[in-house]
Amino acid sequence: MMPVARGAPPALAQSEINYLLEFVEASGCAFYRNGSWYDSKRAQAHLRDKYDWLAARDQIVTAEDFIEKAATKSSLSGRPYWVSCGGGAPMTSNQWLRDELARYRTYRADGENCAPRCTRGAPGIEQSGSTQNLNRPP
């Protein structure tokens, strides 16, 4: 019997997911997962590993699938991931990434190139991209 070939997500989804992963890493935001805060590089690496695992099992078809299945909550504990940018109040990674995906699609539709950051200076992200608020999420 021949092994089943695993398909990668469609090219558009791959492009959007790669953008979101670059956005996470470049954000400088802090990410809360399973009781600990992580920097944006570690968060991106973790999300990349989850994405690769899910994509290899044909579970990712859209950028929304990536957000929902890989970047919203812990697969182990079920607890949500939180993001804190520039000293702002923590928000769920689901909402943060969905907002950024919508911005990316708007800029892309307008023919603008905003990779890897559409939102430098947007609410919740300082110009420096740094984070100061490392309190526990609500």
Highest mean pLDDT: which range of 5-9, 78-82, 114-118, 126-130: 78-82
State percent of the chain over pLDDT 70. 74
Q: What amino acid is encoded at 97 in this protein?
A: L
Tell me the pLDDT of the chain averaged across its residues: 83
Angle, CA of 106, 129 and 95, to the nearest 5° = 50
* Backbone φ, ψ for residue 75 (5° rounding): -70, -25
> Which sequence spans correspond to the domains of the chain?
11-109
Position 137 scores a pLDDT of 61
Position 6 scores a pLDDT of 52
- In this prediction, residues 85-94 reach a mean pLDDT of 95
User: Tens digits of per-residue pLDDT, 48-69?
Assistant: 999 999 999 999 999 999 999 9
* CB atoms near residue 30 (< 10 Å): 23
